[in-house]
Amino acid sequence: MPSYGVGDVERVLHLSRSTIRGLIDAGFVKPERGARREYRFSFRDMIVLRAARALIQAKVPRRRIHRSLQDLRRHLPETVPLSGLSICAVGDRVVVRDGKTHWRPDSGQYLLGLDVILENGVLHMVDRVQATPDAALIRAAAPKSAEEWFTEALELEGADESAARGAYEHAVSADPQHVASWINWGRLLHEVGQTGEADDVYRRALDLCGPDPVLMFNRGVLLEDLGRTGAALEAYQAAIEEDPSLAECHYNLARLYEALGQPQHAIRHLGQYRRLLNNPGN
């Protein structure tokens, strides 16, 4: 069974590291440790984290979220079926379908609809519209949301990256503050060598979304590849000011400071990088 790192959780579920750590500390997920003491999340953990995100977005009171996640965690099957597992709201009840049976882990009025599928080792989590007689007409008439474009883009990555970039562009057109779409759009442009376009995407994203640490880190990587060392240092420093737990950012700073002949700064960031690897939850 595959496992997923903190970066995978951030990319797939759009949860911040602080939220992930809070859910771990509260005992809703109990990830294992990898070879380097990093957190490794199971497919079952990802289901609980995805439910947490849906509840947070629905502005459910935090106490009710905690109770709902406790019940969901307690009732989830130990082995998730490969055919998928669906969680949805029916009236004021949460219903979980595992392909054969339907069961209710909790009560409470909130919106929660998703399909969770494990296919060839790849995790797919897709928001699902409940079927109604007019559902097809509603879907055809209504424009896609940023989240729907984002989900489509994730599915296209690896199969048609040009279409994936287009879907991310549609996502930010639907919601200019959908930071995950900006991040992935810039990353894909960078990967295919369209560095000028990637930098433009990152700069526009920072203007619209504010100082997001992952955006600034990704822009730092791009600037470093362009040979703009000073600007890359500034981007990395700004990223860790927003999120000091970005281990990769400390590592890149250590590398750059060593290359610039500033060993004291290099040692400090390398030490912080190693501490974060050994204690990723702190």
Per residue of the chain (282 residues), give pLDDT as tens. 567 788 878 877 777 787 788 778 777 778 888 888 888 888 777 777 777 776 666 666 666 667 666 666 665 655 544 344 555 443 334 445 544 444 444 433 333 444 444 444 444 444 444 444 444 433 444 577 888 888 888 888 877 888 889 999 999 999 999 999 999 999 999 989 999 999 999 999 999 999 899 999 999 999 999 999 999 999 999 999 998 988 889 999 999 999 999 999 999 999 988 888 877 555
Amino acid of residue 252: N
Note the pLDDT of residue 76. Answer: 61
Q: In whole angstroms, what is the distance from residue 182 CA to residue 159 CA?
A: 20
| 143-210 and 220-282: identical CATH topology | yes
Domain 143-210 grouped into CATH 3.30.710.10: no
CATH no., domain 6-129: 1.10.1660
pLDDT of 8 reads 79
The whole-number pLDDT of residue 91 equals 36
Q: At what angle do helices 43-57 and 62-75 cross, to 10 degrees?
A: 150
CATH pick for 220-282 out of 1.10.150.530, 1.25.40.10, 1.10.580.10, 1.10.15.40: 1.25.40.10
Residue extents of the structural domains in the chain: 6-129, 143-210, 220-282
Contact 14, 180 (CB under 8 A): yes
- Give the model's pLDDT for residue 250: 92
